Structure 1
Amino acid sequence: MKFSLFMYCTIGRRHELEAGLAGLNNDYYQRMLGEIAEIARFADENGWYGFGHPEHHLQIEGFEISNDLNLMASWIAQHTTRLRPIACGYVSTTHNPMRVAEQVATLDHMTGGRLCFGVVRGYQHRWVDQFKIRPDLAAVGKWNRGTDEDDYNRRFFEEFVDVVLTALRSNTFSYEGEFWRFPNDNLNPHTHTVYSDYGAGVDADMTIHEVGIAPRPLQSPHPPLYGGFTMSMSSAVFWARYGGTPIVLSDKMDFCEALWKAYREEAAQHGVDKPRGHECGWGGVAVCAPTDEEAWAQFADMEWFWNQWAIQFGQGMPLQLVGSPDTISRQVEEAQTLLGIDEAFFLVPQGIHSADQINASLELISDKVMPRFA
Structure 2
Amino acid sequence: MVAARDLKVGAFFFGGVEMTDAGAGLPNPMDRRYSNEECWNATLDYVNSAIEAERLGFDSFWTTEHHFQYEGYEIIPNGLLISTWIAAQTTKLRFGAMFNVVPQWNPMRLAEDFSTLHNLSGGRAMLGVGRGTVPREVLHLNDKGVSIGSQDNPDQAAADIYNREIFEESMEIVRRALSQETFSFQGKHFQIPIPGIPDRGSTVQDLTLVPRPIYPYEIWQAVTSPPTLDYVPVVGHGAVFWNQHYSFIKRFWDTYGEKYAAAHDGVELQPHEKRMLVVSTRIEDTMEKARETALAGHDEFWKFLGPYGWSRGYMGPDGKPSPPGLIPTLDESIENKTILVGPPEKVAEEVQFLKDLLGFESITIFPHLLGDSYKKADEQMARFKEEVQPLLT
The answer to whether the superposition gives a TM-score over 0.5 is yes
Question: Match for 1:37 among 44, 47, 64?
Answer: 47
In the TM superposition, what whole-angstrom CA distance separates every residue of 1:7-56 from its partner, at most 9, and x where no partner exists? 11102223389595443241x22331232133212210122111112211
Residue 99 (structure 1) aligned with residue 109 (structure 2): yes
* Residue matched to 2:314: none
Cα distance in 1 for residues equivalent to 2:246 and 2:299? 26
Whether the aligned pair in 1 keeps the contact of 2:149 and 2:157 (CA below 8 Å) is no
* Residue matched to 1:184: 194
SS for the counterpart of 1:282 is strand
Superposition TM-score, scaled by structure 2 size: 0.83
Judging changes above 3 Å, is the alpha-carbon distance between structure 1 residues 245 and 266 closer, same or farther for their aligned structure 2 residues?
A: same
Name the stretch that deviates more: 209-218 or 71-80.
71-80
Judging changes above 3 Å, is the alpha-carbon distance between structure 1 residues 43 and 328 closer, same or farther for their aligned structure 2 residues?
A: same
Residue 226 (structure 1) aligned with residue 220 (structure 2): yes
* Residue matched to 2:19: 13
Cα distance in 2 for residues equivalent to 1:3 and 1:357? 18
Cα distance in 2 for residues equivalent to 1:253 and 1:307? 18
Cα distance in 1 for residues equivalent to 2:361 and 2:236? 14
* Residue matched to 2:289: 294
Once the 2 structures are TM-superposed, how far is the Cα of residue 277 of structure 1 from its aligned partner? Answer: 1.8
Root-mean-square deviation over aligned CA pairs: 2.3
Cα distance in 2 for residues equivalent to 1:286 and 1:14? 20
Residue 247 (structure 1) aligned with residue 253 (structure 2): no
Name the stretch that deviates more: 296-305 or 76-85.
76-85
Judging changes above 3 Å, is the alpha-carbon distance between structure 1 residues 73 and 350 closer, same or farther for their aligned structure 2 residues?
A: farther
Superposition TM-score, scaled by structure 1 size: 0.87
Cα distance in 2 for residues equivalent to 1:88 and 1:188? 39
Whether the aligned pair in 1 keeps the contact of 2:149 and 2:156 (CA below 8 Å) is no
SS for the counterpart of 1:227 is strand
Once the 2 structures are TM-superposed, how far is the Cα of residue 211 of structure 1 from its aligned partner? Answer: 0.8
One-letter code aligned to 1:31: N
Alignment of 1:114-193 (within 5 A): 114-135=124-145, 137-141=146-150, 142-144=152-154, 147-189=157-199, 191=200
Which runs of 5 or more structure 2 residues have no equivalent in the other structure?
1-6, 312-327
* Residue matched to 1:23: 34
Residue 257 (structure 1) aligned with residue 250 (structure 2): yes
Cα distance in 2 for residues equivalent to 1:251 and 1:278? 19
Judging changes above 3 Å, is the alpha-carbon distance between structure 1 residues 292 and 79 closer, same or farther for their aligned structure 2 residues?
A: farther
In the TM superposition, what whole-angstrom CA distance separates every residue of 1:118-147 from its partner, at most 9, and x where no partner exists? 221122111211112213x22224445772
Whether the aligned pair in 1 keeps the contact of 2:294 and 2:369 (CA below 8 Å) is no
Residue 79 (structure 1) aligned with residue 111 (structure 2): no
Judging changes above 3 Å, is the alpha-carbon distance between structure 1 residues 360 and 152 closer, same or farther for their aligned structure 2 residues?
A: same
* Residue matched to 2:300: 305
Cα distance in 2 for residues equivalent to 1:268 and 1:146? 33
Cα distance in 1 for residues equivalent to 2:155 and 2:229? 17
Question: Match for 1:207 among 203, 206, 212?
Answer: 203
One-letter code aligned to 1:232: S
Cα distance in 2 for residues equivalent to 1:239 and 1:344? 19
One-letter code aligned to 1:168: L
Cα distance in 2 for residues equivalent to 1:294 and 1:245? 36
* Residue matched to 1:194: none
Question: Match for 1:359 among 378, 381, 393?
Answer: 378
Whether the aligned pair in 2 keeps the contact of 1:263 and 1:279 (CA below 8 Å) is no
- Same amino acid, percent of matched pairs: 24
Once the 2 structures are TM-superposed, how far is the Cα of residue 102 of structure 1 from its aligned partner? Answer: 0.9
Name the stretch that deviates more: 104-113 or 137-146.
137-146
Which runs of 5 or more structure 1 residues have no equivalent in the other structure?
192-204
* Residue matched to 1:237: 230
Cα distance in 2 for residues equivalent to 1:179 and 1:360? 47
SS for the counterpart of 1:287 is strand
Greater RCO, 1 or 2 (C-alpha within 8 Å, sep 6+): 2
In the TM superposition, what whole-angstrom CA distance separates every residue of 1:242-294 from its partner, at most 9, and x where no partner exists? 33222212463322222122111211123265322224211322211222222
